[in-house]
Structures are given as structure tokens and as C-alpha cells.
Structure 1
Amino acid sequence: MVSHSRWSEMGNRPVRVANVSGFHGDPSEEMYRQATMGDVDFITGDYLAEVNIAGNAEAYANNHHPGWEATAWEGIQQTIEVIAEKKIKLAINGGALNPQGLAEMTANLVKEKGLDLNVCFVSGDNLLDVLGPTMPMTLDELPPHLDGANKEVKHNPATLAFLEKRMKIASSNAYLGARGIVTAFEQGADIVICGRCSDASPVIAAAWYWHSWSATDYDALAGSLVAGHLIECSAYVTGGNFAGFDKYDLTDLIRPGFPIAEIEHDGSCVITKHENTGGMVNVDTVRCQLLYELQGNVYLHGDSKAYLDDVAVEQVGKDRVHVHGIRGAPPPPTTKWAIFYHGGFECQILLNAAGYATEKKWDLIEMQFRSLLGKAGLEALEAIEFQRIGVPAPNPQSQNSSTTYLRVFAEAREKASLERVMVALKDISLRHFSGFHSSLDWRTAVPRPFIAYYPSIYKQDDINERVTFIGKDGELTDSFSVGHPPKYDELEERASYDTASIVEFSSSTRQIRLGDIALARSGDKGSNLNFGIFVQTKKQWDWLRSFMSRDQMRKLLGTDARDEYFIERVEFPKIHAVHFVIYGILGRGVSSSTRLDGFGKGFADFIRDVVVEVPEEIL
């Protein structure tokens, strides 16, 4: 067990970093559980999905929202005394739009309870004044797109829709690295409240400070970046969102415990969790999370690049997985810049049909909608899609198993343009197809405003990042400039290749679902979707890397494939994994994607359900 005099042990053992949140909806009590169920040195939390800040920006500007995430504050209230008693340090990005406000609330709580804790906040991520208050209307004014350097990428036509009309910016934030949090710890902070630092930055900062790394210890920094990536999504590495869940007792997955990273001086780590918590940590849960939302074989961050080509994972005990083999390099000169703007209005209508002649039913209803909207009505819409969801069961045993639905999804600049879609549905009235019915809830059919996303890059040297401490009486006291990385590496061309040597198998084949032999994880990177798939044995790996080419990935997409989708592919041989990035498949991405699975999380299980030919000898 770790003693409460842990700070005398700094650098002499692995640092234990416990994550308590993967987004703002995670239960606030997980902070208290992580602090009390065993000994940890640092508590970290990621509360920000990409759209969180934008979603609350207007309410915050109008004094209708505090700007920070409520579950972050609730967790602090529940845990503050334990943090003080056990001398745990806390770093979270739950400050969101208002890290100063949450830091002031926390400092006041510290004073009320008579605790000896130093509270500060990190600023510099908010770039609203750089472009604002509206999106540019010319390409010359527009900052570069995040994928702009890749000439193979063809952007969705809606990506630059704002050039036609000035659209109000909702939020504009640079992704900060770990340097500000490290500066805070070095100046005596116990609690560090951040806004839009990157998801892994609090974990990197904990290891950086504990092991007294320099800013040029790139291998160690890159290793801790991967550790942060593994635990930043809370239960995603302990059994949540796990492709292999069906092979385990479901009662053990009702409430998976949250993860802990034990990070060594060289940046390698062991991923684990507290004893007597649900879920599991094994090489499969870790590989799934490792492959989640990657950019390819190079993970970019404000403090380092992490090269993942030789990453390895090994089971070293019950609920303990060792992760190593990451190589680091200096960071790129730019960081991610998330720009969200008011994109207009959207609505969806969900219509049901029982099985007989379903395809003809959907053909008819789409023709009716288009006819009633007319040319002018259709041209007033930025998007209208008639998405057919599901396939009726053959020889159905119940009406529900026979039923599928049509998702009519539309976007427009003006609310009135979308209201015509509802009028069209009304005008169809009793002229509908046989057996037409719908959900009782029509609220989604009412046009509502949506936030659109433009991902860009921003020069790190232009960021004015500062750490500011809150005094005992709530006043702002010491403030420190964070500075910038000492060295940069320019962004290289992204790797993309099919396997170097195809392996031929002589045995007969069997038709199976791909998921019967492989596990996978998928997710979103803005408008792009990432997909990683892996197998268990060397023979299976030889087959997977030979089979899963870029052309094969396009075939597996089926009717979802589009010529404009550029596909990147890399391999991670030590974990038997192939990784893809499919550019543009999520449209504008995030809150403005028109896809039913707008964040790409279900894509992996769709691909795993496809039937493929597999050699008998590897089964």
C-alpha cells in the first residue's frame, strides 16, 4: 500500500494516476470511489467531448450556465476532504468554458472546510477573439483545416458552407498540452482546473511532475500520452464499449470500475483498477481502447509525438496489463483548434413500416416527400437524407421483428425551410403506404438549432497559456506564464500502406462473421472515422494483415462506400492489429454529422458482422 507520505517517494516508484471521468455524464461519485477504494497519487478527469464547450457557450454568455461541468464540481464537493487527508493531487479539464469560475468555487469550498490545499486554474485555450464573432467569408481569412495538408482528402461539401453567409461562432478553443498543469504542480498546486486541455494532458502532467522529466524526454512523454489515452475514457478500458463483452458474465459488466495507470520513469505503464470493482482489465480491453480514436501510427500532442508502430501489451497479473514500446519525438508546431459555429437548424422524422414490400414503401414515401417539397423546397435545404434503418426479419415471429424505420433527416440555414418538411408529411396525410405508422414522440421533428464544427490548427508559439492561483479569500494571486515547447518537429506525411508480404493459405475456407475471429473498436475524429481490428494468434495475424487491405476495407463498407472517402491503413504487428482512418465518412462530424451513428461508435460491430471467407487452419 502507498503511504500518505507519498511525496517523499516521488520518482522512486511508478506514479499511480486514477481517472474519474471520460465525459461530463460519468457519475460524479467515481471521483470519491477512486480516492477511497485504494491509494492513488493523482486524480485526473476528462469531462469534455468535443462539442461540450460549444453546447453551453451561448447559455454561459447569457449568464444561464456556469460554464464549468456540473459533475466535475459535484465530484470535488464529495471528495475534497479525502484529497486533503490523503494528499492526493487533482487535475481535471472540467472547467470547460470557465476554469476560473470552478477554481474560485473550489477555493471557497477549501476555505469553508478549513483545508490546506492550493487551488489554481489554467487559461489560454480560449481563442474566441482570434476569429470571432463570425466565421470568415473568404478562404484567405480561413485558418487551415486540420486535414488540409493531406491532398488526398476530399472534404464534404458542407465543410465550407459558412463561406456563403456569416455564421456566428459559438466557441473557439486550442487544445493545450500538459505543460501548464506541470507548471501549476511545480508552483505548489494541489488542485488544477483546466478548460480545453487535451484529454490525456492531466495524466501526462502527473507523470511528468512525479518523475521530474524534462520537456525533451520525448520517449517518456509519449509513453505517458498513451497511458493517458488508455484511461481518459473511464470504463472504456475496463469493460465498457468492449467488443468481446459477450464472452463474459454480463453481471460483472453492469458497473465496470474506473481505471488506474501506474506510469514508470521511462513512460511505460501498467493499466489496472481497484480491487473489488466490476469489469476487467486484460490485453483485449486494453487493445480495444488503444485503437480507439487514433490518428494512425503517430499520436500527436502538444508536448510530443507518440509513434505506436512497436506498441506491445502483456498481461502481467489479474487486471494488470503492461503497455510499452512507444517511441517519442518533439511535438508539431501546431495544436488542434476546435471551432464551433451556429450552423442553422436540423430535424428528423422517424417513420415505421412492417415487413411486406418494405423497400417499395420507402421508395414511395421518399418520392412523395420530394414531390411535395418541390425544387425550391429541396434547394432551400442544406441536406435531406432518407436513411433506411434495419431489415425485416424473415418469417417474423412478432410485429416488432418485422418492423424497420425510415429516418428523414434534414438541415437548413433557416427554420422555415425545415418547417416545409413537416408540412410535406402533413400533406401526405392518408395517402401514405400500406401500414404506415410512427413513433408517438414528434419532438425530434420540430426544427432545432445545431452547432457545426470546423477543425483547424493553431501555432503553439502563439498561445498565451498561464497558471493563476486563487487566494484564501478568493482573490487572484500568483500568475505564471507557461511558455512553449523548446523544440518542434514538422508534421510528416501520414503513413498509409497495405501489408509488406501477403501470406497465402492452402487450406479450405469457412464462411464466418468477421467478429467470430476478430475484436475491434471504432470512433470519430471530427469528420473522419477510425477503425482498429485485431486477432489473437500469429497465424490469424498473417491472415488478417493479408486480408484487411485498403481495397478490402472499401468492399466491407458495402453500400456505405463513396469514391470520395480516402482510406489510410497502418499495422501494429506486436498487438496483431490493423488500423484504418476513413476520411469524410462522418460529414462535418460531431454535432453536425447527418449519420445515424454520428460518432462512429457502432461501425466496428457493423464490420464484425459481415460474413467473410476464413482459412480453416487459423480457426
Structure 2
Amino acid sequence: MSMLAADPDVLRVGNCSGFYGDRLGAMREMLEGGELDVLTGDYLAELTMLILGRDRMKDPRLGYAKTFVRQLEDCLGLALERGVRIVTNAGGLNPSGLADRLRTLAAERALAPKIAYVDGDDLLERANELGFGAPLTANAYLGAWGIAECLHAGADIVVTGRVTDASVVVGPAAAHFGWGRTDYDQLAGAVVAGHVIECGTQATGGNFAFFTELADLGRPGFPVAEIRRDGSSVITKHAGTGGAVTVDTVAAQLMYEIQDARYAGPDVTARLDSIELTELGPDRVSISAVTGEPPPPRLKVSLNTLGGFRNAMEFVLTGLDIEAKAALAQRQLESWLPARPEELSWTLARLDRPDADTEEQASALLRCVVRDCDPNKVGRAFSSVAVELALASYPGCSFTTLPGNGSPYGVYTPGFVDAALVAHRAVLADGTQRLIAPSSETRELAAVDPVELPKPLPTGETRRVPLGTVALARSGDKGGNANIGVWVRTEAQWRWLVHTLTVERLRRLLPETEAHTITRHVLPNLRAVNFIIEGLLGKGVAYQARFDPQAKGLGEWLRSRHLEIPVELLP
């Protein structure tokens, strides 16, 4: 067992990055702001893997998160001075390259940190034999045990490739507490803590539905998880930082990008329906009672391919006859194109209002998006033709975009591979290599037994108001699917919500979901329902099937919709 903290029963794990592009100064803020044992950063997302893949195509030495290097250029000495271990997935597609870059950086500063890395997730060279075709990137989601192995051997910094987001928290906890591979409840507790802090300030008030309740959201502090030996944890933040940690801000992050009550990973399947949240005091929320099950036998694989080329032009339509103006522009452009692209779609956003006081408020936006494998069809042959309409189309014709060439877009596809076929490897600071065996005990994922619902609220007086008057929500993306988690604060509100917000009601409230398969999952401990809307985001975020390609605002759209709510439930 490798102790990472002075306290054998508590490990303080902070986060300083929720995505590639997050606050650059967060690492210094976390190191200077309070006590930490481990500092983690999450830099990888489905879109990020595509970005890093294109970086690697240009320069094989790249493929990692360059902003992490900039952070360590500023903070490496400080982290070593304070004895804080750093664990991050910033290695992306090239963890060994990042480790080499950090060693050079350290030598330039006359520092000697022990730098280890974890790889084996990259399946690109074997993609065809594994049945994945010829993608740009192919990476299995590894777990926490390679990280733990590096920390056991004394690493100060551990960089990884594509591990699950929570693994950068689970690995240090497993190393510190000496957990075994079948300590499922403890591992599941750490997974939940990791899921809460992985997206940085989303746990401390960022993207929070009831944000107007928070006194100080000017610059939210990054979260800290105080993990206990039994797998329970307390979510908090450094004193004096902005934002807040409450049951609802924690619940909001728990609802982000989840599926059903079983949250599967390579080391353990955490039961989200077992979680108990308790507010202990200002900015302190405990997570307890989490139960775990053996992980599934297959690992998820992130596959990115180049889908073709994409371009868009946006017309401004002002004043009267908006629909007729849009129809004319569409008819003209489609007939003037020398060759029709494979995909051509139109969206009319009616942002205009009658008798408007400003020209902007009198205007609507008409957007045309084209995609094709041939870059010529979506390049100037498309955008220049659109501009040619400027003096020949509807009155007041203008554009928000300039003509230009198309740009390549990616397509994300999830895959699965037998864990035994993936060579999970820890490369220690001295160069020693250790292979990490897959879990010996696994369990196929199965649907959770139906939940017994509470009795419906008795019929009474209602008022037609927005759902968000009483309900909070958080939405996000998983490939082409979107999720919306909705929850309420009181038992009476829960009795109303769970019987009211059905799949059928969701379809009526969000007509854009009508053609899609929707599944609802019930999480009574969180007074929450989670909806999975399949295919709403097309082929993933890089495909940009809709103007909100990551479904970030989908939950807020739902909260803005009006329905009859019992008066007794209203604030």
C-alpha cells in the first residue's frame, strides 16, 4: 500500500480541469488555495480525441493536451514543494510523448519529479482486426489500476491516455487505501466522487439551473473530494473561492451524461440509485451508501472517423413575410448550385417579433448546412453561390457568415472490445513496464428492476407555469444521444414529477424529440428522472446535427416549457 496523504483515512483529491480549454490558471489556484494530496485534470472528451487525432496527423510527436504542459511550466515546482501528486488523462493519444515532454520541462528547471504513464488504450493499429474498420482514432476506456500501480511505485506525476473520467480519482484512492479489485462498494464510491469533480466547476455552481440562488458565481472555485476509506466522500472547495457546493450542485453533476441506474466502468459498475447525498454544512456535501457490482466483461471504445466536409451560410431575414423570404432564398440557392451536396439542410430560427423596436429584434436567421465527401461541393462552389444571392433575392438580404471553404468534420461511434484483448500497461518512472490484468470477475449489464413509484399527488388547483419553476435539469451528450436529468427538491414535488414527466409528456414539451427513441430511468434517492434521447445529435458533436451539438441547453429548453403544476408545489 502506498500512502498518498498524511491521514490514512482521508484522501483530498482536487480537480483543475474539466475539458481541454478549461481555466488555465486553475492548477495554481488549486495548489495555492488549500490543502490537497492529489490534483487531477480531465482533458479528454469525444470531440477532443478527434482534435488530438488531427494534431497527431500533422505531427506524430503531438496528440496530447498542450495546455497541461503550459500549466506545469507554471506550477511543477509548486506541486513538488507541496507534495501534491498530479494524475491526469492529458496524455490523450500520446501519453509517452507527454511524459517525455514533461521530463524535458523538469530538467530545464533543475527539478527531478518521478513521471510515469499509462497506455495500452490505443487500438488504432489493430482496429481492422477488432472489427472497427479504419478510424482516425480508436481508444479503449481503461480503468484505475494502471494509475494505482504508478502511484504505488512512487510517481509524482501520472499521465494517461483514454481512461474513464473517474479513473484519475479512483486510482489514487485505491493506492492510498489499499483497496482490492473486488472492493466494489469502495470503488463505486470513488467512481461517484470522481464523476462529481471530473467536470470542474460544474460541481460548484457552473451550469446550475437555479444559479440565481448562488451568492457568488463570478469565478467558481474548482471542487475537492475528501474520499474516505469506506468509499464515502465529502465534496467541497477551497475556502474563499466563488460558487457553492450544495446537494443540488452535486446532484446536477451526478445527472450529467449518465444513462440508467447502472454506471458501468472497467473496474466496477456503480449503482447510481444507491447514492445518498447529505448537506453537512456550508460547501460540504457527503456522498454515501454507494454500492458497486462487478464490471462488464467488455471495455467501451471511442472511435472517431473523418466523415467528410461541412460548410454553412446564414441569411438574415428582416421584417415582413419571413416565411416567404426564406422559401425564396432556399429555392434560389438550391437551383443555382452547380452540384448538390450529399446533405443539404435548412433551419429557420424565428427570433423576430412583430412591430419590433430594433432591427435585430425584427430579424430571423435562416441557416443552410451542407456536407459531402467531396470538399469542392461544399467549398466556394456552395458559399460563393450563396453570396451571389445578395442583390438578386429577397428584400434586405444579408449574411452573418463570409464565404469560405468547407472544413472536415468527424463522426464519433462507440464500440466495445473484450477487456482481455487490451494491453493495459503502466510504465513506471524508472522505465519498468507492468501489465495490468483485466478484472477476473465480471457481470453482464442488465436492466434495473422497475422502481415502485410513490403515490401520485392528489388532484388540486394548478397553475400553468414553466417546469423550471420547481424542477432543476442538466443535459449533455453521449455520442449521438442526448440525456436530460430532471430533479426536484421535496417529496411532494417528486410525487408530482415522476407521474407527470413521462416519455409521452417529454415528446409534447420538446417536439424536436418526436421522431427519436426515448427511454426514461427513475432515480428515487435523487428525486430524479433521466431521459436518453437516441440519435438527437446525429453522429456526435463534431457532426453538428443541431445548433446545440452537445445538448448543453436541452435541459434549459425543457425547464422553460409551460405545463400545469399544482399550486401547492410552487415557491
Corresponding residue for residue 40 of structure 2: 44
Indicate whether 1:430 and 2:391 are aligned: yes
Q: CA deviation at 1:394?
A: 4.1
Is residue 453–residue 498 contact of structure 2 (8 Å, CA) maintained in 1?
no
Q: CA deviation at 1:100?
A: 0.9
Q: CA deviation at 1:365?
A: 2.0
Indicate whether 1:257 and 2:221 are aligned: yes
Secondary structure class of the residue paired with 1:84? helix
Indicate whether 1:293 and 2:257 are aligned: yes
Q: CA deviation at 1:182?
A: 0.7
1:219 maps to a residue whose letter is D
2:33 maps to a residue whose letter is M
Secondary structure class of the residue paired with 1:418? coil
2:139 to 173, 187, 192: 173
The 1:24–1:8 alpha-carbon spacing in structure 2 relative to 1, beyond 3 Å, is: closer
Is residue 118–residue 424 contact of structure 2 (8 Å, CA) maintained in 1?
yes
Q: CA deviation at 1:225?
A: 0.6
Cα separation, 2, equivalents of 1:269 and 1:501: 29
1:340 maps to a residue whose letter is N
1:310-365 CA-to-partner distances (Å, cap 9, x unmatched) read 32212111111112232100111111111111111001111111242222322332
Superposition TM-score, scaled by structure 1 size: 0.87
Cα separation, 2, equivalents of 1:59 and 1:175: 20
Runs of 4+ in 1 over 6 A off after TM superposition: none
Is residue 29–residue 78 contact of structure 1 (8 Å, CA) maintained in 2?
no
Q: CA deviation at 1:615?
A: 1.1
Corresponding residue for residue 158 of structure 1: none
> Which deviates more from structure 2 when the two are superposed, residues 420-429 or residues 508-517?
420-429
Indicate whether 1:454 and 2:413 are aligned: yes
2:348 to 357, 363, 388: 388
Cα separation, 2, equivalents of 1:243 and 1:394: 30
Indicate whether 1:541 and 2:505 are aligned: no
Secondary structure class of the residue paired with 1:225? helix
Q: CA deviation at 1:107?
A: 2.4
The 1:6–1:129 alpha-carbon spacing in structure 2 relative to 1, beyond 3 Å, is: closer
Q: How does 1:152-231 map to 2 (within 5 A)?
A: 169-231=135-197
Indicate whether 1:361 and 2:325 are aligned: yes
1:606 maps to a residue whose letter is W
Secondary structure class of the residue paired with 1:457? strand
Q: CA deviation at 1:127?
A: 0.6
Is residue 22–residue 47 contact of structure 1 (8 Å, CA) maintained in 2?
yes
2:364 maps to a residue whose letter is T
1:275 to 232, 239, 242: 239
Indicate whether 1:596 and 2:547 are aligned: yes
Is residue 107–residue 470 contact of structure 1 (8 Å, CA) maintained in 2?
no
Corresponding residue for residue 438 of structure 2: 484
The 1:279–1:106 alpha-carbon spacing in structure 2 relative to 1, beyond 3 Å, is: same
Secondary structure class of the residue paired with 1:51? helix
1:410-436 CA-to-partner distances (Å, cap 9, x unmatched) read 111111222443354245343322222
Is residue 42–residue 89 contact of structure 2 (8 Å, CA) maintained in 1?
yes
1:485 maps to a residue whose letter is S
Superposition TM-score, scaled by structure 2 size: 0.94
Return 5+ residue gaps in structure 1 as ranges. 144-165, 472-476
Q: How does 1:451-530 map to 2 (within 5 A)?
A: 451-471=410-430, 477-493=431-447, 500=453, 503-530=456-483
2:288 to 296, 299, 324: 324
Corresponding residue for residue 526 of structure 2: 575
Corresponding residue for residue 614 of structure 1: 565
Cα separation, 1, equivalents of 2:24 and 2:513: 41
Q: CA deviation at 1:556?
A: 1.3
Q: CA deviation at 1:401?
A: 1.9
Corresponding residue for residue 513 of structure 2: 561
Q: How does 1:236-255 map to 2 (within 5 A)?
A: 236-249=202-215, 252-255=216-219
Is residue 409–residue 594 contact of structure 1 (8 Å, CA) maintained in 2?
no
Cα separation, 2, equivalents of 1:65 and 1:361: 51
Q: CA deviation at 1:393?
A: 2.7
Is residue 214–residue 244 contact of structure 2 (8 Å, CA) maintained in 1?
no
Cα separation, 1, equivalents of 2:429 and 2:150: 12
1:347 to 281, 302, 311: 311
Corresponding residue for residue 605 of structure 1: 556
Secondary structure class of the residue paired with 2:434? strand
Corresponding residue for residue 412 of structure 1: 372
Cα separation, 2, equivalents of 1:23 and 1:342: 22
Q: CA deviation at 1:397?
A: 2.2
Cα separation, 2, equivalents of 1:7 and 1:574: 33
Percent identity (aligned): 34
2:438 maps to a residue whose letter is H
Cα separation, 2, equivalents of 1:435 and 1:580: 42
Cα separation, 1, equivalents of 2:357 and 2:350: 16
Corresponding residue for residue 68 of structure 2: 72
1:422 maps to a residue whose letter is S
Indicate whether 1:102 and 2:94 are aligned: no
Cα separation, 1, equivalents of 2:4 and 2:167: 21
Q: CA deviation at 1:57?
A: 2.1
Cα separation, 1, equivalents of 2:534 and 2:266: 23
Secondary structure class of the residue paired with 2:465? strand
Cα separation, 1, equivalents of 2:175 and 2:320: 65
Is residue 52–residue 92 contact of structure 2 (8 Å, CA) maintained in 1?
no
1:351-406 CA-to-partner distances (Å, cap 9, x unmatched) read 111242222322332233333348xx44x41x221112243234422121222211
> Which deviates more from structure 2 when the two are superposed, residues 56-65 or residues 20-29?
56-65
- Length, aligned pairs only: 568
1:314 maps to a residue whose letter is T
Secondary structure class of the residue paired with 1:79? helix
1:26 to 22, 36, 49: 22
Secondary structure class of the residue paired with 1:431? coil
Is residue 52–residue 64 contact of structure 2 (8 Å, CA) maintained in 1?
no
